[in-house]
Amino acid sequence: MDRMKRFCSNASFILLATLILTSCIESEAQKCRPSGRIRGKKAPPGQCNQENDSDCCIEGKLYTTYECSPPMSSHTKAYLTLNSFQKGGDGGGPSECDNQYHSDDTPVVALSTGWFNHRSRCLHNITITANGRSVVAMVVDECDSTEGCDADHDYQPPCPNNIVDASKAVWKALGVPQNEWGGLDITWCCVSSLWQKELRTYTRINLKFIDYETLTIIIIAF
């Protein structure tokens, strides 16, 4: 009888974990398609800070916009870009998460709109991996994929949907030669606490008796 109880308990856990995984996969696996296009406007004199080789909108050019980003995993592929979060830098105004400016010597990032997810990742740390190294950086801002080419966005194009826009400190920590700063293929992932939060979002099942650390390992292994 005890053996049967243990079997049923283990089977129930596996079934519950499978349901959670299925829910996560269904939520994340939806393809990210463009939400629209906007037409570029020429920046007025003195607008569009081109520090760090930032692009300015080209008048009349159509730019694709997104309200989503590619599906996340334990090693989400992304494109790393360079941004200054300091006052007067090409990042524009204060960071959205804390209404503060941040030194170029601080490892901070902005995420494309879909990954930023309505500020849900504000002030969370993420791990960025590239060039054989990893660095932990804090999310402080959104790289807006839905709008651009206006004064609020310093007449810069909408952000692509797969961007991690990082301070100089991140590039230094990854060991990228300074003359190669600007664009780099990377992977990134969330910290486990954020995985736990998203597990609650993706399922309505009562998970109070489940070990979240175990489920995090299961999801990453999957």
Do residue 94 and residue 84 come from a single domain?
yes
Range of the domain at 93: 34-190
Are the C-beta atoms of residues 109 and 167 closer than 8 Å to each other? Answer: yes
Q: What confidence score (pLDDT) does residue 4 get?
A: 58
The total number of structural domains in the chain stands at 2
- pTM for the structure as a whole: 0.72
Which CATH number do you get for residue 113? 2.40.40.10
Query: Are 18 and 79 within one domain?
Result: no
Do 128 and 202 reside in the same domain of the chain? no
| Alpha-carbon distance values, 14 to 18, 108, 129, 197, 214 (Å) | 6, 38, 31, 20, 12
Same structural domain, 121 and 198 = no
Q: Are residues 17 and 89 in the same domain?
A: no
Q: What is the mean pLDDT of each run of 10 residues along the chain (222 residues)?
A: 56 51 49 94 84 84 97 95 87 88 97 97 97 96 95 90 98 97 95 50 40 39 42
Contact 214, 196 (CB under 8 A): no
